[in-house]
Structure 1
Amino acid sequence: MAFIGRDDDLKQLQECFTERRAQLVFVYGRRRVGKTETLIQLAKDKETLFFAAQNATKDEQLASFSRLMFEAGAPGKDYLSQYPSWERALTELTRLPEPSDGGRRLVIFDEFPYLVKSDPSLPSVLQNLWDHTLRHANLMIVICGSAMSFIEKELLGEKSPLYGRATGILKMLPMPYWDAAQFFPNYSGEDKALAYAILGGIPRYLEEFDPDETIDANVKRHILRRIAPLYSEVEFLLHEELRETAKYNSVIRAIALGATSLNEIATHTMMANATVSSYLANLMELGIVEREFPVTAKPKERAKGSRGLYQLSDNFFRFWYSFVFPYRSELERGDVEGVYERHIKPVLHDFAGKPFEGLCREWMWRESAAGRLPFRARAVGRWWDRQDEIDVMAVDNASDAAIVGECKFRNAPVDRSVLNLLRDRAARTGIGQRTYLLFSLGGFDQSLVDDAAASQSDVQLVGIDELFHE
C-alpha cells in the first residue's frame, strides 16, 4: 500500500534536515501511530543510517549497531569486530564517509528507549558527545520511541542529561479523519465515517481493513476472528505498556459503557477514587483516554478538574471494549456471524454517533485554519452544563463569539426542530454572538435548506459528502 498522509509531519522533519546546523530531533508517539513508516519516507532520498533497536542486552545492541556502521563505511571495520562502548560507537558517526551527494547524513535510532533500558548511561553519553562533537557535525540525528512517558520524563524532562539539547520535538498524533479516509478511496462518505468510528486514525489499524470489502465483512474478518491481529491488539498493547491489565480493563470498559466522571468510574470498577485516578493518568499518557472540559472552561477551572470528564480518545479501543471484550466467549467458539448480527450491526450507527461528533470537531478546526469560518477559533470542543450539551462548539479569542453545532449520524433528514433545540441550548452558554452549524448523514429538511440559503442566514448545513470533500 502507498504511504498515506503525514504531509505536515514530513514537511517539518524535512525542514529540520535542511537547517544549516546539526540536528537532534525527537520523534515519539503511541505504538502503531506510524512513526517508523514516516521516518522511512523521510529517509527515502537521503544517505541514512537507520538503526531499529530491539529489546536486547547492551552487548547485542552494540553488535548490531557496529555491523550497521561498518556497512556504512566506518573506519573501525578494519580492526574491530564491534565497538566496545556506546561512546566509541557514537563518536564514530563523525568519521563516516561524506554522503555522495555532498549533503547531510541522516541517523535514525528507532525505539531508542530499548537502548537506554539496556544501558541507562546512554543519555549521558549522548549529551556529552552532542555538546562537544556531534553538534558540530554534518548530521541529523533522530531519536524515536513509543514509550511516551519515558521520552517526556527521562529524555526530555528537566532532570535528563539531554534536557535542552533537542533541536526539534515532534509528537506524532493519530491521523485526522480526512487522511484516514484515503485508505478507503471507493467507500461512500457514510462508510468512511463508519470505518473511522471503528478504527480511528491509527495507520496500522486502517491497513488491516480491505478497501474492496464492505464494513460488515471487514469487521467480521479483521476484528472478530481469533486469528485476526486486531482481535488481540488491545490486550497486546496493554500488556506491553502496563501492569495490572485486569484493572485497566475494568477502567476502560467502564468508560466505554458511559461512565465519564471519576466517581462514576470508581463506582463501576469498585475501586477507590485515588486508585482510579492513577490508572487514568497512565491511560492518558498512552493516548487511550483523554480528559475533556467544556470548551468555555477557564484555565483555573481546568486545573481544578471540577467539570472534567473522561472519554476514550482511541476509537478502536472504544469499539473493542464495546463489542469484542463482552462477547469473547462466543467469539472464542467461532460465532463471528452471530456476534455481528445480534450485537453489532443493529447498533453500529448509534455507536458511531460519538466518533462522528469528534470528526465534525476536526472538520471545524480544519475550516478555521483555512479561514473559512466567521472567525479563527481559539478552541473547539464540546459544551455542557448540568442540563444540556452541545456536540460541537468553537469560540473566538475573546470568547464573545461562538459557532455551535449539532451532529446527527442517522439516515433521516435533520429538520427544523433540531435547529430550534440547538438555539435554546446555545442561549444558555452566555455567549451572545452565535452562528449555527448542523452536520447530518441523512441530509436536511427542505425548509432548513431554504433557511440556510437565505441572505444574512446564521445557519450552515454540512452533509456527509462535504465533510470528506478535499
Structure 2
Amino acid sequence: MQKPQHVFDREREWAGLVSFASEVSPGARLGVVSGRRRQGKSYLLQALASSMGGIYFPALEVTEAVALRLFADELIRFTGAPVPAFRDWIDAIPYLFGVVRDRAVPVVLDEFPYLVKASPELPSIIQRELGPGGSGATSTARVLLCGSAMSVMGGLLSGTAPLRGRAGLEMLIRPFDYRQAARFWGISDPRLAAQVHAVVGGTPAYRKEFVRGDIPAGPADFDDWVIRSVLNAEVPLFREARYLLAEETEIRDPSLYHSVLAAVADGNTTSGGIAGYVGRKSNEIAHPLRVLEDSHLLVKERDLFRPNRSYYRVAEPLITFYQAIMVREWARLERGDAATVWRGSRARFLSQVVGPHVEVLCREYALHADAAAGEVGSGVVPDPANRTQIQVDVAVLAPADHGRPRRVLSLGEVKWDRLMGAEHVARLRRARDLLTAKGYDTRDTALTCYSGAGFTPELGAEPGNDVRLITLDDLYA
C-alpha cells in the first residue's frame, strides 16, 4: 500500500504496519507501537487507519464510563449503525471483534496508558478475547495498542503481563536519525545541521509546532535562531525539556530524576559519579536510572575495552541543551535576556553540547559505513607506561568469533572545532599498539580522524595507508 505523501520518511515503519494490518489469516491479531511523545506515532497510525478504512480511537485521560462512550461513538462512525451502550470493556472488546469480520483492518487504540489507568483490567480482557474460545477467534481486527508512557508500554509484554506472548508486532517509533532530521528540516549545510541536531535532535514535532516553523536561514543565522526560538520564553520549545519527565507515570520524585539527568549532562557518566553529584547513595539511584533508561531518556553503554565498566549518556539532545545552557540562567531567560545568556554560554555549548553530540553522530556513521562492523562504541585504553589513559571516541569491532582474538576494525578520535593533525594519529596508533599487546587482532585496524574543522596540511596531504579522514560532509553524504 502506498504511503501517503504527507508522511515524511518512515518507510520501514510504514511497511511493517501495513504488513501487520493486512495479514489475511483468520483470527484477531495484536500489535504494540510505542515511543516517546512528539515522534509522530499518532500521525503515522492515523494515516494507516485512514488509508485502510480502519478504526482510530484516541483515548483521553477520562473515566472509564466516558472512555466507553467515546469508543462507542467511534464504532458508530466505523459501522454506520447504532451501537449499544457498553457497561465495561468486557462488553466493548467482544463487540469490537464482532463487527470487524469481513476484512483485515487496523484498530488503533492510541494513548493506551490512559485507558489502562482508568481500567487496569483492560489488558487481561484483551488477552482473554484473543485466547482460545475468545471472540477474537473469528475476527479480522488488527489491534494496535499505542502509547507514549514508555514504562507502561514496555510492561505490556514483559514478565508475567497478561499480553505477554500475544503480540505479533512490537514496534518502537524512534526520532529521525541525524541525516533524516537534516532532510526534514530542509538543512543542506552539514555544520548547521549538526548544530541544530545537537539542540533538538530528531523529534519531528520540534520542526514546526514547537518553534513556530522557524528554521535557521543558514550557518550565519544559527545563533539568532537559538535566541529567538530555543531560548525565547514565549516559544513552546522553551519549556519542553521540563515536561518530558512529567509524561512518565513511574516518576514520583521529579526533582531526583531531573538531578540525575543534570548529573549525566554535566559529565558524570558512571553510577557512582551520578550518585555523588545528586548527593545520594548508589543503591538509591538504581531505580531512577532504570526508569530513565526505560523511558529512553538515558542510554547505558559499555566500555568496549573494559566490558565490566559502563557509562550513561542523555539520549534526548534537548535535555542536554537544557541542563548545560538553560537551567543555570532560567531566571534571566524568563525575563527575556536570551541574547546575553547565549553570548555567555556559546563556549559551553560547543564543549558540553555539540562536541559530545557529534561523537554520537560519528559512532552512528561508523556503524553504517563499515559493513563488517559488529559493535560500535567508545572505550578507554590504559597506557601504564605513560601513566595515562587514551580515550577512543569511536571504536569499531568485528563480530566476536569464538576462540579467536577480537578484531578491531577502526579506532577513531573526534574533534568538532579544532584541526586534527599528526599528534591525533600518533595517539590512536599508540592505542592500537596497546590493544595488540592485550591480545586484540589489530592487523587491519584503521586509524580514523573525525573532524568538524578540518585537518592540518601535512595530515591532509599524506594521511598514510592506515589513516582515514572523515569530515562533516562525509557524515551527511
Same fold (TM over 0.5): yes
SS at match of 1:428: helix
Judging changes above 3 Å, is the alpha-carbon distance between structure 1 residues 427 and 15 closer, same or farther for their aligned structure 2 residues? farther
The offset of 1:108, in angstroms, is: 0.3
Of residues 11, 18, 22 in structure 2, which corresponds to 1:14?
18
Superposition pairs of residues 320-359 of structure 1, within 5 angstroms: 320-343=322-345, 345-350=346-351, 351-359=353-361
1:304 corresponds in structure 2 to: none
2:59 corresponds in structure 1 to: 53
The offset of 1:288, in angstroms, is: 1.3
The offset of 1:445, in angstroms, is: 2.9
* Residue 388 of structure 2 corresponds to residue 382 of structure 1: no
**Paired residue type of 2:228:** R
Q: Which runs of 5+ in 2 are unaligned?
A: 383-388, 401-405
The offset of 1:328, in angstroms, is: 0.7
Q: For the Cα contact (< 8 Å) 1:365–1:377, is it kept in 2?
A: yes
* Residue 122 of structure 2 corresponds to residue 122 of structure 1: yes
Of residues 454, 463, 468 in structure 1, which corresponds to 2:471?
463
**Paired residue type of 1:69:** L
1:378-417 per-position Cα deviation (integer Å, ceiling 9, x unaligned): 111001145121000110013223211111111x432222
TM-score, normalised by the number of residues in structure 1: 0.89
1:63-90 per-position Cα deviation (integer Å, ceiling 9, x unaligned): 100001011116443xx3x322222222
Of residues 238, 243, 252 in structure 2, which corresponds to 1:231?
238
Q: For the Cα contact (< 8 Å) 1:183–1:211, is it kept in 2?
A: no
**Paired residue type of 1:421:** R
Structure 1: distance between partners of 2:246 and 2:193: 30
Structure 2: distance between partners of 1:135 and 1:363: 46
2:149 corresponds in structure 1 to: 147
2:403 corresponds in structure 1 to: none
The offset of 1:6, in angstroms, is: 2.1
Structure 2: distance between partners of 1:189 and 1:355: 14
Structure 1: distance between partners of 2:14 and 2:304: 30
Of residues 276, 288, 292 in structure 1, which corresponds to 2:285?
276
**Greater displacement, 414-423 / 45-54:** 414-423
The offset of 1:127, in angstroms, is: 1.0
State how many pairs are aligned: 444
The offset of 1:36, in angstroms, is: 1.4
**Paired residue type of 2:17:** L
Judging changes above 3 Å, is the alpha-carbon distance between structure 1 residues 136 and 436 closer, same or farther for their aligned structure 2 residues? farther
The offset of 1:458, in angstroms, is: 2.0
Q: Percent identity at matched positions? A: 27
Q: For the Cα contact (< 8 Å) 1:54–1:114, is it kept in 2?
A: yes
Q: Which runs of 5+ in 1 are unaligned?
A: 302-306
The offset of 1:98, in angstroms, is: 6.7
**Paired residue type of 1:336:** A
Judging changes above 3 Å, is the alpha-carbon distance between structure 1 residues 2 and 439 closer, same or farther for their aligned structure 2 residues? farther
SS at match of 2:462: helix
Q: For the Cα contact (< 8 Å) 1:28–1:145, is it kept in 2?
A: yes
**Greater displacement, 355-364 / 282-291:** 282-291
SS at match of 2:360: helix
Superposition pairs of residues 24-43 of structure 1, within 5 angstroms: 24-43=30-49
Structure 2: distance between partners of 1:438 and 1:465: 14
Structure 2: distance between partners of 1:462 and 1:2: 34
TM-score, normalised by the number of residues in structure 2: 0.87
* Residue 75 of structure 2 corresponds to residue 69 of structure 1: yes
Q: For the Cα contact (< 8 Å) 1:49–1:108, is it kept in 2?
A: yes
Of residues 59, 81, 84 in structure 1, which corresponds to 2:87?
84
2:386 corresponds in structure 1 to: none
SS at match of 2:419: coil
Q: For the Cα contact (< 8 Å) 1:28–1:172, is it kept in 2?
A: yes
Of residues 217, 226, 235 in structure 1, which corresponds to 2:224?
217
2:369 corresponds in structure 1 to: 367
The offset of 1:135, in angstroms, is: 4.5
The offset of 1:97, in angstroms, is: 6.7
1:302-322 per-position Cα deviation (integer Å, ceiling 9, x unaligned): xxxxx1122212211000011
Structure 2: distance between partners of 1:206 and 1:393: 32
The offset of 1:8, in angstroms, is: 1.7
The offset of 1:286, in angstroms, is: 1.2
Judging changes above 3 Å, is the alpha-carbon distance between structure 1 residues 170 and 135 closer, same or farther for their aligned structure 2 residues? farther
Judging changes above 3 Å, is the alpha-carbon distance between structure 1 residues 53 and 322 closer, same or farther for their aligned structure 2 residues? same
Judging changes above 3 Å, is the alpha-carbon distance between structure 1 residues 339 and 212 closer, same or farther for their aligned structure 2 residues? closer
Of residues 93, 98, 108 in structure 1, which corresponds to 2:96?
93
SS at match of 1:389: strand
Structure 1: distance between partners of 2:202 and 2:259: 24
Structure 2: distance between partners of 1:388 and 1:168: 43
1:247-282 per-position Cα deviation (integer Å, ceiling 9, x unaligned): 222222122111122222222221122112222222
* Residue 167 of structure 2 corresponds to residue 180 of structure 1: no
1:99-131 per-position Cα deviation (integer Å, ceiling 9, x unaligned): 7xxx52111010111111111111111111112
Q: For the Cα contact (< 8 Å) 1:180–1:206, is it kept in 2?
A: no
Structure 1: distance between partners of 2:146 and 2:305: 36
1:120-173 per-position Cα deviation (integer Å, ceiling 9, x unaligned): 1111111111122324422211011112222222x2123222111101111222
The offset of 1:7, in angstroms, is: 2.0
SS at match of 2:171: strand
SS at match of 1:27: strand
Structure 2: distance between partners of 1:139 and 1:16: 11
Judging changes above 3 Å, is the alpha-carbon distance between structure 1 residues 441 and 341 closer, same or farther for their aligned structure 2 residues? same
SS at match of 1:16: helix
**Paired residue type of 2:204:** P
SS at match of 1:159: coil
The offset of 1:212, in angstroms, is: 4.6
Structure 1: distance between partners of 2:357 and 2:242: 22
Q: For the Cα contact (< 8 Å) 2:298–2:312, is it kept in 1?
A: yes
SS at match of 1:397: coil
2:408 corresponds in structure 1 to: 401
Structure 1: distance between partners of 2:399 and 2:306: 13
